[in-house]
Chain A
Amino acid sequence: MTVSIVGVGLHPFGRFDVTGREMGLVAARAALDDAGVAWGDVDFAAGGSRDAGHADTLVSELGLTGVPFVTVYNGCGTAGSAILTCAQAIEAGAAEVALAVGFDKHARGPFNSTAAEYGLPDWYAEDGMMVTTQFFALKIQRYLHDHGLDARLLGELAAKALRNGSIAPHAWRRTPRSVDEIMSAPMVNDPLTSYMFCSPSEGGAAIVLMSTERARQVSDRSVEVKALEFRTRKFGTFEVFSPWLAPEIAAGATYHAARAAFEAAGVGPDEIDVAQIQDTEAGAELMHIAECGFCEHGEQEKLIVSGDLEIGGRLPVNTDGGLIANGEPIGASGLRQVIECVLQLQGRAGERQVPGEPRTAFTQVYGAPGISTCSVLTR
């Protein structure tokens, strides 16, 4: 791609007494300020929210400039699609300055979906099988079995998330917890305890994108989007809300999106200095690390136990605590991942700054029913 990020803006994640739209506005204005551009300079926008309103209505407050503003929705991957929509508009020559924005404000507790929304019969939900946390548990339970991995690794990853979140000012869960504390917390769906899950939350996030050529003219710290790849699932993947699975489990959308992103960027997984990976729960991070290509399936233990995934390690993952510490406002979550990578590449990540001037970053957002968007970013 020939697209770069010139500004980022975040409304903290957590629980707040303001509307989701207001959080989106805070983030959008912060991103414009950070980029040094005015709303009137923006000639394309895209954004999304699941529960907090239509993103394109933000023009009421930002200014009725007539800008084309595409509202997107792709479940937990919504923010990835907002970025992709903007980046492709720039690539196509249809936009010069684009704003991608996401925000959300969810009710407490797990997301509640209707069977009909997923093309499923009512009995599936009425009998208690249409539960997202159940899916995560069934998937990681089998994965641990297939690869001979210990459930304690899930506790290690959750502890890392909360440790990193404790030094990220925008994070929601800022209390570090020991692996023992996490392992002995109330079980939600075996083997996943309550501290291993992210919760739906609230927040806003936005970025300003330009062509790389223009970005270099206006900014000395822009971050290049080397690749951005979106995939949906192929036959045989193991996804949420599946009354049946194929006898052979196929590689998921993340596998294909990540490989496409690395290929398009001309960068290998071993060249990534910092990564933000979808950790809807600790098992998702465990599996996604391998799906993205950072190790073989079943080889995660080495990375975790050696400290490679820590902020000072070889491949720091989820440096701001990921979804486990930030929660998941669906419209904003994938943008938060990109923003965290931008801040790390620019050396602006404060106490959680990855040492050694990281140059190359990776993001992966994943959602129901089997979608994934991966990016490679460089400075």
Chain B
Amino acid sequence: MSTPAAPVRGLITSIDGDDHLVGSRCTSCDTHVFPTQATCPRCGAATVDAALPATGFVWSATVQRNEPKPPYVGPAEFEPFAVAYVDLGPVRVESRLEGRAADAWHIGDPVRLAPGEADANGDVWSYRFVPTRGGAS
């Protein structure tokens, strides 16, 4: 993926109306990481911002059944949630999953990015992956 053309709003950039997580791509070995970092963890070369693919597959999933300790911020009444690594191709990104029961996710399920709410500056600091159209059950 190339450097995002649109401005980065927190963790997200929009290209032609589609939202993407913004990671980094190594200018030397093409390693992709998320979130952004200035140098490559593999070879140490400089990186550039990269819009990551917006869709992928669940690579591994579990359910967070107990409320995490602070600094976790969540609803007053804790609800178990699904957590996964989503395989986006050049990189696997850890994400909470939404859009179906927390314990109903399986390895291989197709998902797409769903950005969270923007803050007062219009920046987005949370994201979920949700079932792709037709992928919901």
Contact = CB atoms under 8 A, between A and B. Distances in A.
A235 B69 CA distance: 29
Interface stretch (B1-9, B89-97, B129-137): B89-97
Indicate the size class of the contact surface on chain A: 35 or more
A94 interface: no
Contact of A246 (B72, B91, B95, B107): B91
B137 to A, nearest CB: 17
B31 to A, nearest CB: 7
Nearest to B124: A123
Interface in A235-277: 235-236, 242-247
Interface residues of B, number: 41
A115 interface: yes
Main secondary structure of the interface of A (DSSP, over half): loop
A127 B64 CA distance: 12
Interface in A92-143: 109-110, 112, 114-115, 121-123, 125-131, 134, 137-139, 141-142
A235 B35 contact: no
Interface string A185-221: 0111111000000000000000000000000000000
B117 interface: no
B83 to A, nearest CB: 5
Contacts of A244: 23, 32-35, 91-94
Interface in B61-99: 61-66, 68-74, 81, 83-85, 87, 89-96
B10 to A, nearest CB: 8
A25 to B, nearest CB: 31
Given A138-B84, A190-B103, A246-B31, A128 B64 contact: yes
Contact of B72 (A128, A141, A188, A247): A128
Contacts, number: 103
Contact of B71 (A114, A139, A246): A114
Contacts of B59: 142, 245
Contacts of B84: 138
A246 B23 CA distance: 13
Contacts of B93: 243-244
A142 B87 CA distance: 12
Given A134-B83, A138-B61, A245-B85, A235 B41 contact: yes
A246 B72 CA distance: 26
B90 A247 contact: yes
Given A126-B72, A129-B96, A142-B59, A189 B64 contact: yes
A235 B92 CA distance: 14
Nearest to B116: A127
Contact of A189 (B31, B65, B90, B94): B65
B64 A131 contact: yes
Cβ-closest 9 pairs across A and B? A137-B62, A142-B60, A244-B34, A245-B92, A123-B125, A189-B62, A235-B42, A126-B73, A138-B60
18 contacts: A128-B72, A129-B83, A129-B96, A138-B83, A138-B94, A141-B61, A186-B65, A190-B63, A235-B41, A235-B42, A242-B94, A243-B94, A244-B34, A244-B35, A244-B91, A244-B93, A244-B94, A247-B89
